[in-house]
Structure 1
Amino acid sequence: MGFDLEVLRETVKTHGRVTRVVIASLRGSSPREVGAAMLVWEDGQTGTIGGGTLEFQAADSARRQDAARILSHHALGPDLGQCCGGAVSLLSEVYDAAAIAELDQEIIARPVAEAVQPISVTRLLAKARGQGVLPEPQLIDGWMIEPVHRPARQIWIWGAGHVGRAMVDVLAPLPDLAITWVDTGAGRFPADVPAGVTVLPAAKPAELVRHAPPEAEHLVLTYSHTLDLELCNRLLSHSFAFAGLIGSATKWARFRSRLAALGHSPALISRITCPIGRPDLGKHPQMIAVGVAAELLQPAQHETRQKDMSA
């Protein structure tokens, strides 16, 4: 969890003035943790601080907010009629392009109640920058501290057809994923691409494989079996944490034979997962996307991939 500076920047670019509402502190039970945030603008919002009455009232207040920064306190049971029974403090801050330009790129520390930076904050920031250990989001001695969010996982989606679009729609809102989306031309992508998704049109997509981080996870979903095969071939010659190919058992049998003919060993070829997702859910694009997302997000499988990378 952290301050998602990239999503804020893209949201301000699209909608102008945006209010960011973050859970600054909590006591007892709460629907979300400290650092959970949402962005609110005149006619929309994204992210969540837990839903329900708290979020509804916070969004309404954010749209009417004039002050640059407001810290408010809410008892979830008595004040809002929610079942959590705890209490939260919300920090609501208004951002535009100029305000974003002034933000630090690693740790965002700003005064909420005390203008002068207290020694506790000075020490925390010095330790973080000296030892490289970023602090948890927290409200400390009148200052709000949040590390800038860095996605933990790199997801490359190859193909912007119906399944590729469904995959992006399902995965883009999830935390800790940086998505790179590749297809053969700009016209293959929708007009509205979710914030935080990097679009890469390329006449020869397979040429981009060498630029993917070695820890990236790949979903091969293109319109062309020839392109799918070439991507698999390039991936097997390049480090990756996971590679999944859309298709049937028949397609995969044919691909295994052709990849072997290209010089790849059976053990290496077996690192590609095909088919991907949950075939029992059906072939509707959204069902495929839900199944693949569930597979990607299973902690045990993610840990296995990390072990494979370090082996």
Structure 2
Amino acid sequence: MPRPDARPLEGHDLNWHTALHRLQEDAQPHVLATLVGAAGSTPREPGTKMVITPETSFDTLGGGTFEYQVIAAAREALTRGDTAPSLEAFPLGGRSGQCCGGYVHVLIEPFAGAERRIALFGAGHVGQALANLITPLPWRLDWFDSRPDAFPPWVKCEPAPPRLKLHSSGAEPAAASAAVHSLSPGSDVLVMTHDHGQDLALIDALLKRHDLASIGLIGSASKWASFKRRLMEAGHDPDNIARVRCPIGIAGANGKRPYEIALAVVAELMTLAAARPDEPDRRGIVPETLRQAFGPDR
């Protein structure tokens, strides 16, 4: 489903490069499909492109069953969470149901959208410094505060910063629970409101979700000791409570200025996204595939 804060696209009439620019700016998942090789009679020439999202497509590679197959392959790549390009061959006959008689190779380049999803609770000095650091990155930021006037003026300017959505959440525990319920699975959550009661209510609600990437709480060791005691009294087991990082920030960063703290927190977030140990040494399109597609016999 598209994000509710994403700008609406204009459907099939939008050309591929305008759609690509908009989707990349908003960090929406999409695929750029490029016809890179052709032989025989084909509906379009190499270099033709189209953009495909989970819901729609922009421009055309020539239409017909062939294009339907390209769209299906692109959406399968998005569903799998692919990030590497792939080269697909489509004969324009047989399975394609088209009578052109040629064949084409299409480069499928998936873009998963935002690389990270950050949920930031609190628009105080550290929260504002964090937002300044996060918004230039290819990360989506959902920023919450119970005080609508707490957000800095720059986030309300036109055009609004891409990939940023503001949320005015209530201060009561029920509002904290609703805000936590709205978070996307896989979010990295940072809690730093102006009120310890709100912080505790948020942590209590966050620990009831087991599909979040990480939970971080700003505060001292004594604050966290008090919170741990109250969370255990509320029924959370020690292993679940241990999911919370407090204090937050990369080890060894001892600055106390808001921007220094924010830098340490962003650096820590980057260390949490370590490469998977089973990631293969060879990535992308293997040379054998390229030789088969574009060798001298083609």
Query: Fold-level match, TM-score > 0.5?
Result: yes
For the Cα contact (< 8 Å) 1:159–1:183, is it kept in 2? yes
Helix, strand or coil for the counterpart of 1:150?
A: coil
For the Cα contact (< 8 Å) 1:109–1:145, is it kept in 2? no
What are structure 2's unaligned runs of at least 5 residues? 9-16, 28-46, 89-103, 156-160, 278-298
- Give the structure 2 partner of residue 156 of structure 1: 119
- Give the structure 2 partner of residue 244 of structure 1: 216
Tell me: CA distance 1:302–1:285, structure 2 relative to 1, closer, same or farther (3 Å): farther
Helix, strand or coil for the counterpart of 1:298?
A: helix
| TM-align CA RMSD | 4.4
1:180 aligns with 2:151: no
1:127 aligns with 2:127: no
1:126 Cα shift? Answer: 3.9
Distance 1:256 1:271 in 2: 11
1:220 Cα shift? Answer: 0.4
Alignment of 1:1-20 (within 5 A): 9=7
Which of 206, 230, 255 matches 2:176?
A: 206
One-letter code aligned to 1:127: A
Helix, strand or coil for the counterpart of 1:264?
A: coil
Q: 1:87-143 deviations in whole A, cap 9, x for unaligned?
A: xxxx9xxxxxxxxxxx854476547xxx85799877533422467466867999899
Distance 2:181 2:240 in 1: 17
1:201 Cα shift? Answer: 0.2
Which of 160, 184, 188 matches 1:217?
A: 188
Alignment of 1:91-170 (within 5 A): 105-106=53-54, 110=59, 123-129=69-75, 132=79, 147=110, 149-170=112-133
Tell me: CA distance 1:38–1:303, structure 2 relative to 1, closer, same or farther (3 Å): closer
1:191 Cα shift? Answer: 2.3
- Give the structure 2 partner of residue 298 of structure 1: 271
- Give the structure 2 partner of residue 235 of structure 1: 206
Tell me: CA distance 1:120–1:216, structure 2 relative to 1, closer, same or farther (3 Å): same
One-letter code aligned to 1:187: D
Distance 1:214 1:129 in 2: 20
For the Cα contact (< 8 Å) 1:220–1:246, is it kept in 2? yes
Q: 1:228-249 deviations in whole A, cap 9, x for unaligned?
A: 1111111122222211000111
1:260 aligns with 2:222: no
Length, aligned pairs only: 220
- Give the structure 1 partner of residue 154 of structure 2: 192
Distance 2:152 2:109 in 1: 33
One-letter code aligned to 1:201: S
For the Cα contact (< 8 Å) 2:192–2:217, is it kept in 1? yes
One-letter code aligned to 1:218: V
1:212 Cα shift? Answer: 2.1
1:287 aligns with 2:224: no
- Give the structure 2 partner of residue 62 of structure 1: none
Distance 1:146 1:234 in 2: 38
Which of 272, 283, 303 matches 2:244?
A: 272
For the Cα contact (< 8 Å) 2:52–2:71, is it kept in 1? no
Distance 2:6 2:238 in 1: 45
TM-score (norm 2): 0.58
For the Cα contact (< 8 Å) 2:190–2:216, is it kept in 1? yes
TM-score (norm 1): 0.55
Distance 1:302 1:159 in 2: 30
For the Cα contact (< 8 Å) 1:105–1:148, is it kept in 2? no
Based on CA coordinates, which of the two structures has the bigger radius of gyration? Answer: 2
Helix, strand or coil for the counterpart of 2:153?
A: coil
What are structure 1's unaligned runs of at least 5 residues? 11-18, 23-34, 40-46, 48-90, 92-102, 305-311
Distance 2:201 2:218 in 1: 14
Distance 1:163 1:237 in 2: 26
1:185 Cα shift? Answer: 2.6
Identity of aligned residues (%): 33
1:213 Cα shift? Answer: 3.2
